[in-house]
Every structure is written in C-alpha cells, then in structure tokens.
Amino acid sequence: MTAATWQHAPLTWDEESDVVVVGSGFAGLAAAIEARNAGCSVVVLEKMKGYGGNSLLSAGFVAAAGTALQKKSGIPDSAQLMFNDMLKSGLGLNHPELVRTLTEQSAEMLDWTIDVVGVRYVDRIDQYGGHSVPRSYLPHNLSGSGIVKPLLSKVASMGVPIRTCHFVQQLCKDEDRRVCGVRVLKGYRFPAGDSGRLISIKANKGVVLAAGGFGADTAFRSLQNPRFNQTVESTNKYSTTADSLKQALHIGAMPVQLSWIQLAPWTTPDEKAYGIGADFAEIAVSPYGVLVNPATGQRFISELADRRLQADAIINIGHPCIGIVDEKGAMASGIDYTRCVKRGIVKTFFNIKAIAENYRMPVDALTDTIRAFNRFIVRGKGDLLGKPMLSKARPIEHPPYYGIRLWPKVHYTMGGILINTKAQVMDLNRQPIAGFYAAGEITGGIHGACRLATCAITDCLVYGRIAGKNAAANS
C-alpha cells in the first residue's frame, strides 16, 4: 500500500469522537445535527477563526420542488421537473442518481429547515435562471446567514462543539483501509502554513468532509482550467482553497469534473470579491430588469438564462454589460439597495437618456430596447430572448432607474470528489471508502457543467443530512 492511498493512523490518539465533521458551512452543520440526533458524539472542525465559510456570503436561496407553498400558490412543480432543469443546465454531465436524490428530498429538506432548524423565509417563491417555474426560497434577512445562524444555534443546543482554527492536515486510514480519524493543526492561523500544534482525533464511526470548493485557490483552479488564472477575480472568501480536496485525493478518492468552474454573471468589477452589488443584480435586475450591451444599447441574453449562458454571453461582448431596473422592480425584489447606491456601485437615473449618457450608449437604441421589453411584459409572452414571464414583473417605466456594471467572476466549482447517494466517498474503482463521507461543494458530479441557480444550498443541506445520518449509522 503506497502513501497515496493509505495514511497510517497514529499509534495513539489525543481525543476521539464518533463522527468528525470538517467544515462549518451549510453541509457540515447539517451533517453534525443529523449525526448528533442519531445519538453520536460529534465534533466540527473549522480551519478559520469564524464559522460559516462561503455559506455566510451566499444570498441564501434554497431551491425545492413540490412544496406546500407552491401548491398553495398554484405553481405546478415536481422533483422530476427540477431534475430535468438541473440536467439541462448541467449539459447532461450530471450523475443522474445524485441529482434524483437531491430533487426528491428537496421539499422535505425545506420543511426540515423550518420545523427543526427554525429558518424563516420570505413569504414568496422566486424564479431564477434556468428554472422552469418559481421554486426558490429566500431567508427573511435575504442572506445565507439567515440559514447558517439557526443551524449554529441548533448545533449549540445539541452540545456539539465547533473547534475553530483547527486545520485538517491529514486524513488517516487504518490497516483495513478505513478512514479512522484526522491529524489536525490546532491553533492554525490561515494562511500562515504549518502553524499550530499537531494533534490526532479518532473518528469511531466516520469522517464527514464538508470543506467547500476551491474557487479562491488560483494555483489549483488554473491547473484545472487555465483560463481562470490570477486575472480572474473570485466571489469566494480567500480561504476557499483545495487543501481538503487534495487530502481526499491523496487517500484515493475519485476526482470528478474538476475543470468545470462556474462564473457568476451578476458580479461587478466595481468592487472586490462577492460584494453587495451581486445580490442587487441577481435579486432585482435578473427577474425585473434587463441586461444591455453598452456598445449597442440592446439586450443580448435572457436575464433568466442559466449562469453559464449568461457569463459566456457577457464575456463574448468583450466588456462589462449594464444591468437596468426601475424603482418598482427594485422594490418588488425586497432587497435593501440603499447601500449599493451610497457606495456608487449602483447608480441612480431619472430618465433613459441619462442612463445612455452615463454608460455611453446610443440613446435611441436603448429607448427602443426598453420599449420592446415593456411590450413583452404587458403581453406576458413573446420575448425574443426567451425570458420567462413573472407574475410580479412590471414594465421599466417608473423612475428612478438603477444601473450597475456587470462582469463575471469565479463563483462555484462544480467538480470535486465522487460520492454515492449515501454520501459515501468513492475510490478510483468506484467503491465506497469505509468511514468516509462528503457533502456540499467539495463533491462533484451533481451539477455537471453548470450549477443551476439556487441549487447549491439544497445540495449542501440534502447531502449534509444524508452524510450525517450514514456516518452515525456506520453504513
């Protein structure tokens, strides 16, 4: 057995727990809750000083199909329709059995977040890029923290410790090739390297890896796709690296589709990382406004196309596009956009001519574009770019108008390690690695070529719960 497939377990352990969870975002916290609920002792390890990782940065949208609110609202939806949408967005590269499990458990997962975890959602259902029908739910505070904080409270109430500044340096296997624990740098300070004191923690039943993606790891991601080098910004926290992924690969986990990296089409070059403008663009502009090429004054893509299509379309025009929405559209979104305006990321205009002059657009072409869009909204059908009609959408005719420059940034990594529907990590022969489970963005194969909007948290929570239950059951 070579070092590439077997990291020897230490002769003695500093401490032990039934289940060891790596990562304190959506997937890790869901796994911890379910493992503890099954009667196991659980410890959560987090390499950073704070909890939540990229989960805290997200807008918090959760996609779920066939829910009670959809039925009450007369929205026809099903797990099968959501399955079809995910495979269409993923160009059929998705592993169907993984998608099937996600979509079939999505409604029950949403109920779990409400009834067990205590998450509160806005009383509406939204439709975002690539979805056939409205099926996306937004936390009451319009942020991923609206889910993370209740998860943290639930974990705390169950007596599960979360150890911050604990960096998992090594996954350990025993002589039976079972993952039996981890070596951890306690007191680690990212990105200081090998800082902290090395300790070993035994996992009596299993290790759940929920450490997120590698969107901010320029060196690793550019090896997978050379286009995404240091010239391309990322929405992720700077701590979003491939360290845990590489540890999993080192002990023989199967890599899947690592080169498929998603760009966020609704980010702006006028601020770093994710910023505050991204939520405005995604939640207000995409459903209620238009995306315009400033060189022509014309729309060039459906504002509700999937992320890959939108990002590619923006890159193809060769410069930032302009997102435009009016006061009524911005108000209908429910988002607080005053901070964006105060910082100058979103600009305010009182007529179409002012928008055109500010962004150096042909005013007649922009006027015609807005008029054509308004006719589509009034008719409720026939958009030449295929944007689906939303019941709350209104014509863009109520000043003030708001504009934002948009240019894609690396947002999500669809590739990762392969799991099965039990969230067991698979080896190079597609056999489960005993004692090893994973969930969330560190896994691959679920989203294919392009993650469908608002499905990431669904993925994290569905498979996080599955991983926690099965690790506890030692299955």
Same domain, residue pair 386 and 439:
no
Residue 241 lies inside a defined structural domain of this protein: no
Residue 87 lies inside a defined structural domain of this protein: yes
Band of the pLDDT at 381, cuts 50, 70, 90? confident
Tell whether omega for the bond before 400 is within 30 degrees of 0, i.e. cis: yes
Average pLDDT rounded to a whole number, residues 54-69: 94
Q: Which residue type, as a one-letter code, is found at position 202?
A: K
Cβ partners under 8 Å of residue 249, min gap 6: 255, 417
User: Which range (32-36, 83-87, 124-128, 432-436) has the least confidence?
Assistant: 124-128
Percent of the chain surpassing pLDDT 70:
97
Same domain, residue pair 67 and 207:
yes
Residue 82 lies inside a defined structural domain of this protein: yes
Cα–Cα distance for residue pair 449/92, rounded to 1 Å: 8
Same domain, residue pair 334 and 468:
no
For 114-171, how does the pLDDT look when each residue is reduced to its tens digit (9 = 90+)? 999 999 999 999 998 899 999 999 999 989 999 999 999 999 999 999 999 999 999 9
pLDDT for residue 1 is more than 60: no
Domain boundary among 359, 386, 407: 407
Domain boundary among 407, 426, 447: 407
Band of the pLDDT at 193, cuts 50, 70, 90? low
| Phi and psi angles of residue 197, each rounded to the nearest 5 degrees, phi first | -100, 130
Choosing from 135, 221, 307, 308, the catalytic residue is: 307
Cα–Cα distance for residue pair 209/224, rounded to 1 Å: 21
Residue 105 lies inside a defined structural domain of this protein: yes
What pLDDT was estimated at residue 390? 75
Same domain, residue pair 272 and 350:
yes
Same domain, residue pair 198 and 283:
no
| Phi and psi angles of residue 184, each rounded to the nearest 5 degrees, phi first | -130, 140
User: Which residues constitute the domain of residue 170?
Assistant: 15-215+411-473
Residue 299 lies inside a defined structural domain of this protein: yes
Same domain, residue pair 23 and 168:
yes
What pLDDT was estimated at residue 59? 87
Residue 3 lies inside a defined structural domain of this protein: no
For 224-270, how does the pLDDT look when each residue is reduced to its tens digit (9 = 90+)? 999 999 999 999 999 999 999 999 999 999 999 999 999 999 999 99
What pLDDT was estimated at residue 10? 72
Cα–Cα distance for residue pair 348/447, rounded to 1 Å: 37
**Tokens representing residue 440 in the block:** 């969330």
Same domain, residue pair 440 and 469:
yes
Q: Which residue has the higher pLDDT, 432 or 382?
A: 432
Q: Which of 260, 156, 148, 153 lies closest to 210 in space, CA to CA?
A: 148
Number of domains into which the chain is organized = 2
**Tokens representing residue 220 in the block:** 């690793």
Residue 444 lies inside a defined structural domain of this protein: yes
Same domain, residue pair 368 and 440:
no
Same domain, residue pair 300 and 330:
yes
Same domain, residue pair 359 and 444:
no
- The CATH number of whichever domain residue 200 belongs to comes to 3.50.50.60
To the query of whether residue 100 is one of the catalytic residues in this protein, the response is: no
Residue 259 lies inside a defined structural domain of this protein: no
Same domain, residue pair 54 and 107:
yes
Q: Which residue has the higher pLDDT, 194 or 29?
A: 29
- Report angle CA 239, 202, 40 to the nearest 5 degrees: 95
For 323-350, how does the pLDDT look when each residue is reduced to its tens digit (9 = 90+)? 999 999 999 998 899 999 999 999 999 9
Percent of the chain surpassing pLDDT 90:
90
Average pLDDT rounded to a whole number, residues 366-373: 97
pLDDT for residue 473 is more than 70: yes
Same domain, residue pair 298 and 185:
no
- The CATH number of whichever domain residue 353 belongs to comes to 3.90.700.10
Contact between 261 and 436 (Cβ < 8 Å): no
pLDDT for residue 181 is more than 50: yes
How many other β-carbons are positioned within 10 Å of the β-carbon of residue 84?
Answer: 14
Domain boundary among 356, 372, 407: 407
